[in-house]
């Protein structure tokens, strides 16, 4: 009886301790965001520069998501991502518009307006209007919101880049806003030319300059193009969408697969012109948010804390001119 009692008491004590540990852990996890990634016992906060939100029922829809895509053919709203951000202690987010719909520029601002601390920046998409009379008034209106930090040029609607196109880029630079490219329709060479012609415009290449990896050595032409565009100091690069780089899906979970591309961007852009982005929810096709962050860390840990701080938040704050995160004391 005594023995049984002792055993039950031990069990109860263990359960209580478990609860206590769990409570303590959740209290810690609920602390101000952006406090994870502890290295040397001190937190390195994170600004994720590439998160998408979308409403699948928006009028213009999202053509690139196929109806039979079981993971992505649905809406992704802030309520879907916020628990993930909190759990991974991401303290700042730059939302990047998915698709090229003009009204979706404002939609992305509106849907994130309830938490301006978390959603520090919005990158819209002005592919359809740049170089036209529509650009200046729309851009001015969007810039009334300080969180409108710039726009992406993904689709290309002019074969030759006109004076009107450059006039709009000059205006963008004057307003202190940035332009993002996912090289493709705009080649690395074209982006390099833009960077030289508008040297005060801050430009960023999404997703490692859109490289595709299959495990074989990097394409020498791509390497050359990246090194050339990186010569312009106003061009940055996103260490983003790791999973999306892999030709084969689901993407490999081994950092070795991505290391050549990582090494190349570090070597060509340097540690001051790289920012982190997850590309959530597109990541979900391979793995959850924590897994892509873990993979990025696996590489950055080798570079040391100073570099991790730059890539995970400091460079993003400087590039987008948004408030930086404070490391936890
Ligand atoms: Zn994306």
Handedness of CA 100, 315, 243, 90 (dihedral sign): negative
Judge whether residue 33 has pLDDT over 60: no
Domains of the chain: 31-320 (3.20.20.140)
pLDDT at 327: 67
Ligand 1 centroid distance, CA of 200 (Å): 25
Percent of the residues in the chain that have a pLDDT greater than 70, as a whole number:
86
Q: Is the pLDDT of residue 269 over 70?
A: yes
> CA torsion angle for 283, 284, 286, 292 (degrees, to 10)?
50
Give the chain's count of helices (H) and strands (E). 13, 10
CA distance 98 to 101: 9
Query: What is the distance in A from the centroid of ligand 1 to the CA of 52?
Result: 7
What tens digit of pLDDT does each residue of 218-229 get? 999 999 999 999
Q: Alpha helices, DSSP H only, in the chain?
A: 2-29, 78-87, 104-111, 135-143, 163-174, 188-197, 207-210, 220-229, 242-245, 255-269, 289-303, 305-309, 315-320
Contacts of 126 (CB under 8 A, 6+ apart): 102, 105, 135, 138, 139, 151, 152, 153
CA of 100 to the centre of ligand 1 (A): 12
Residues above pLDDT 90, as percent of the chain: 71
Nearest to 53, CA basis, from 108, 14, 122, 130? 108
Confidence of residue 43 (pLDDT cuts 50, 70, 90): low
Q: Count of CB atoms within 10 A of residue 214's CB?
A: 10
Q: Cα(141) to centroid of ligand 1, in Å?
A: 25
To the question of pTM greater than 0.75 for the whole model, the response is: yes
Alpha-carbon gap, residue 17 to 116, rounded angstroms: 38
| Predicted local confidence at residue 328, as pLDDT | 59
């Amino acid at each position: 009886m005594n023995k049984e009692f002792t055993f039950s008491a031990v069990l109860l004590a263990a359960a209580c301790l478990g609860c206590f540990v769990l409570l303590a852990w959740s209290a810690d996890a609920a602390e101000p965001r952006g406090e994870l990634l502890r290295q040397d016992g001190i937190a390195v906060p994170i600004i994720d520069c590439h998160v998408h939100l979308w409403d699948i029922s928006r009028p213009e829809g999202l053509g690139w998501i196929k109806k039979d895509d079981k993971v992505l053919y649905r809406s992704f709203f802030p309520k879907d991502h916020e628990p993930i951000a909190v759990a991974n202690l991401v303290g700042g987010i730059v939302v990047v518009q998915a698709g090229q719909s003009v009204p979706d520029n404002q939609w992305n601002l509106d849907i994130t307006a309830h938490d301006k601390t978390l959603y520090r920046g919005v990158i819209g998409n002005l592919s359809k209007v740049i170089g036209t009379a529509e650009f200046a008034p729309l851009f001015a209106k969007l810039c009334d919101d300080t969180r409108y930090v710039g726009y992406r040029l993904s689709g290309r609607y002019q074969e030759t880049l006109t004076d009107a196109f450059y006039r709009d880029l000059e205006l963008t630079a004057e307003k202190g806003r940035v332009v993002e490219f996912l090289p493709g329709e705009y080649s690395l060479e074209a982006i390099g030319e833009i960077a030289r012609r508008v040297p005060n415009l801050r430009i960023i290449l999404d997703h490692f300059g859109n490289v595709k990896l299959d495990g074989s050595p990097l394409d020498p032409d791509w390497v050359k193009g990246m090194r050339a565009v990186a010569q312009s100091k106003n061009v940055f690069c996103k260490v983003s969408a790791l999973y999306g780089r892999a030709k084969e899906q689901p993407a490999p979970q081994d950092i070795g697969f991505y290391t050549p591309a990582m090494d190349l961007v570090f070597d060509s852009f340097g540690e001051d012109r790289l920012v982190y982005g997850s590309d959530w929810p597109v990541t979900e096709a391979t793995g959850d948010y924590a897994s892509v962050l873990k993979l990025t860390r696996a590489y950055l840990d080798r570079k040391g804390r100073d570099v991790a701080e730059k890539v995970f938040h400091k460079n993003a704050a400087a590039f987008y001119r948004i408030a930086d995160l404070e490391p936890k004391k």
